[in-house]
């Protein structure tokens, strides 16, 4: 069963992303949630989701740190990480690319685009 991890320290953003992606559950995708970077990293190591929507500014460990750790671990290189953050400056986008993010999206996000990206990564047809 494919898995998608939603990581954001703001409960309402996690809920909005979960609602945006809930159609995927009907297609056999499991949605996982985390509210901080350390918990996210633990879930990634344990459950190996195919896709992670990752906020940048979080307690315990930043999204940049989580991304870098995942991408530097050979056993987890295939995990797709989409940074989804309010930090939209070019400097931040560069930092995300340097950490290994596969895509960098800014908030507020377009729910249709988030769902489309998830479908692409998971290889699901619309």
Radius of gyration (Cα) for the chain, nearest Å?
13
pLDDT in tens, 104-124: 999 999 999 999 999 999 999
pLDDT of 87 reads 79
pLDDT in tens, 55-107: 999 999 999 999 999 999 988 889 999 999 887 788 888 998 999 999 999 99
Tell me the pTM. 0.94
pLDDT in tens, 10-53: 999 999 999 999 999 999 999 999 999 999 999 999 999 999 99
Residue 52, sorted as left (phi over 0), alpha (psi -120 to 50) or beta, turns out to be beta
Domains in the chain and their CATH numbers?
3-118 (3.40.50.2300)
- CA–CA dist 54, 1 (Å, integer): 20
pLDDT of 88 reads 74
| 124 SS3 class | coil
* Residue in this structure with the two tokens 């991408």, named with its chain if needed: 71
């Amino acid at each position: 069963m494919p898995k998608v991890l939603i990581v954001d320290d703001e409960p309402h953003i996690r809920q909005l992303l979960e609602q945006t992606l809930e159609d995927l559950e009907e297609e056999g995708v499991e949605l996982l949630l985390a509210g901080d970077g350390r918990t996210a990293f633990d879930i990634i190591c344990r459950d190996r989701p195919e896709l992670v929507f990752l906020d940048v500014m979080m307690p315990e460990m930043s999204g940049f740190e989580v991304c870098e750790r995942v991408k530097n671990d050979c056993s987890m290189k295939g995990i797709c990480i989409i940074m989804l953050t309010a930090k939209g400056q070019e400097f931040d986008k560069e930092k995300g690319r340097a950490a290994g993010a596969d895509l960098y999206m800014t908030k507020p996000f377009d729910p249709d685009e988030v769902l489309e990206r998830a479908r692409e990564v998971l290889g699901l047809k619309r």
